[in-house]
Amino acid sequence: MRVEKITTATAKDLLTRGNADLLRTAAVGIVGSRKASLKGVGAAQDCAGQLARLGVTVVSGYANGIDLASHKAALDAGGATILVLAEGIERFRLKREIEAAWDWERALVVSEYPPNAAWSVKQAMQRNGTICDLSRAVIVAEAQRNSGTMNTVRLCLKMKLPLFVVTYENMED
């Protein structure tokens, strides 16, 4: 799969691999904890599946937990997904958890970093802004108090992007 360079509406240069047409679709970000509870994962899967069936592209990072659950659910529902990396695009490897559902026609991998850049916390925080940039709204499936997810929440509020937070009984702190 060929890597292409594109510039987003917010003037970010992104390296892409996959179906770049997905950048022109209605998209909603789903974010949350790497170490999510079963309820949080279930909420992410439900939201992603419903959005996919409505023709909305799901946007998320590529971490374990909420991110992977969202991508897989969107693909399993026949929908599309955009994976936003916190590392260079040449470091992308398809994770076993989503391999069976993967379809390059319904998926796009993007990175704003040099092709071989290693993952870093700083880049993960910056990547959260890219998730917001590519989304018309963001859903928080589950978050820890001090986390990258809360960074995304602050970015959404600053950008005046619609923000939805999943709540359920007996939520863990």
pLDDT mean over 140-147:
76
Per-residue pLDDT tens for 39-84? 989 999 999 999 999 999 999 999 999 999 999 999 999 999 999 9
pLDDT tops 90 at residue 22: yes
121 — pLDDT class (breaks 50, 70, 90): confident
pLDDT at 91: 96
Residue 48 three-state SS: helix
Nearest one of 28, 99, 85, 77 to 57, comparing CA atoms: 28
pLDDT at site 125: 85
**Cross-sheet strand order for the sheet of 163-165:** 3-7, 13-18, 107-111, 81-84, 57-60, 27-32, 137-142, 163-165
